[in-house]
């Protein structure tokens, strides 16, 4: 009789955050307009959400548009906003069906009214879902998020509602847009760039960073699994000692 040795499969990281970069270079490599790179990038988003749900990741946070991305040519910004509108309209049923809860962080007031309404509806329709928590960062900047939190706390301190001596990390986190989400365990950035570009500055204090050469439109399940494998090789010490 053979003996079956149970090989323990490590748990996937609880929270994966992704800086989805490289749409423009993907288009350039294929002699296509940048808009086509963004369109293919949106396809990769759809696939990645499915894969993360399948692999058992509980929280996925995607950087889709930074507060600095307005610096791009007007037609490119329009393309990105058009794709966002299309995604919100066409994916909502899929998100509902698959138990995905959608949240948006970032300055939504700066987006089109129509997009704001779509976001609001999508958040409301998926509020009860628990299978995968999908957070999309739109018109998001980490410094701005921190500044707004500081401003809110100063306001409360001035009115006497907040004792400055009681400002703790926990209290501060209550003022961040990500309140209620665990910090990312794994941060992936595609396209070979090794920078954070103003994403989740506070929350990534102890995240493991994995930088992949893959350009975002080519991001596949194999890439996700490679990043997770790399994550499992890391020893998270949080300032302590080995072991
Ligand atoms: C990511 O791809 C999409 C956004 C930042 C909105 P890029 O458009 O930045 O692609 P590259 O970096 O130019 O290749
Ligand atoms: C970061 O990518 C923002 C998003 C992926 C949405 P960028 O392409 O804007 O970043 P930089 O300009 O190379 O730092
Ligand atoms: Mg880029």
Task: For each of the domains in the chain, give its residue range(s) and CATH number, in order of start.
Answer: 15-140+183-231 (3.40.1180.10)
Question: Per the structure block, which two tokens stand in for 122?
Answer: 């999508």
59-78 exposure pattern, b = at least 16 Cβ within 10 A, e = fewer: bbbbbbbbbebeeeeeebee
Q: Report CA(22)–ligand 1 centroid distance (Å).
A: 5
* 69 in catalytic set: yes
Nearest CA to ligand 2 atom 9: 69
Give the pLDDT confidence of 92-146 residue by residue, as tens digits: 999 999 999 999 999 999 999 999 999 999 999 999 999 999 999 999 999 999 9
Confidence label for 5 from pLDDT (cuts 50, 70 and 90): low
Provide residues with CB under 6 Å of ligand 1: 20-25, 65, 69, 80, 191, 216
List the one residue out of 239, 190, 194 whose CA is nearest residue 216.
190
Is the pLDDT assigned to residue 149 strictly greater than 90? yes
Could you tell me how far CA 186 lies from the centroid of its own chain?
11
Confidence label for 6 from pLDDT (cuts 50, 70 and 90): low
Contact 110, 139 (CB under 8 A): yes
* Dihedral (CA of 149, 155, 161, 165) sign: positive
Cβ of 193 less than 6 Å from ligand 2: yes
Give the pLDDT confidence of 23-52 residue by residue, as tens digits: 999 999 999 999 999 999 999 999 999 999
Residues within 5 Å of ion ligand 3, judged at the Cβ atom? 21
* 121 in catalytic set: no
Q: Which of 23, 29, 69, 133 is catalytic?
A: 69
């Amino acid at each position: 009789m053979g003996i079956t040795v149970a090989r323990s499969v490590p748990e996937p990281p609880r929270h994966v955050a992704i800086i989805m970069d490289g749409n423009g270079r993907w288009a350039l490599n294929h002699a296509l307009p940048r808009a086509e790179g963004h369109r293919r990038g949106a396809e990769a988003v759809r696939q990645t959400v499915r894969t993360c749900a399948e692999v058992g990741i509980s929280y996925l946070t995607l950087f889709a548009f930074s507060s600095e991305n307005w610096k791009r040519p007007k037609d490119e910004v329009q393309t990105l906003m058009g794709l966002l509108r299309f995604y919100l309209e066409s994916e909502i049923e899929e998100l509902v069906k698959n138990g995905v809860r959608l949240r948006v962080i970032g300055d939504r007031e700066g987006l089109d009214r129509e997009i704001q309404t779509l976001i609001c509806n999508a958040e409301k329709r998926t509020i009860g879902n628990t299978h995968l928590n999908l957070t999309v960062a739109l018109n998001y900047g980490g410094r701005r998020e921190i500044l707004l939190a500081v401003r809110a706390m100063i306001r409360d301190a001035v009115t006497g509602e907040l004792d400055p001596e009681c400002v703790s990390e926990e209290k501060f986190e209550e003022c961040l847009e990500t309140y209620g989400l665990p910090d990312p365990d794994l941060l992936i950035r595609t396209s070979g760039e090794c920078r954070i570009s103003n994403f989740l500055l506070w929350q990534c204090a102890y995240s493991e960073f994995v930088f992949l050469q893959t350009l975002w439109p080519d991001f596949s399940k194999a890439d996700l699994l490679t990043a997770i494998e790399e994550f499992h090789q890391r020893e998270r010490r949080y300032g302590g000692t080995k072991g």
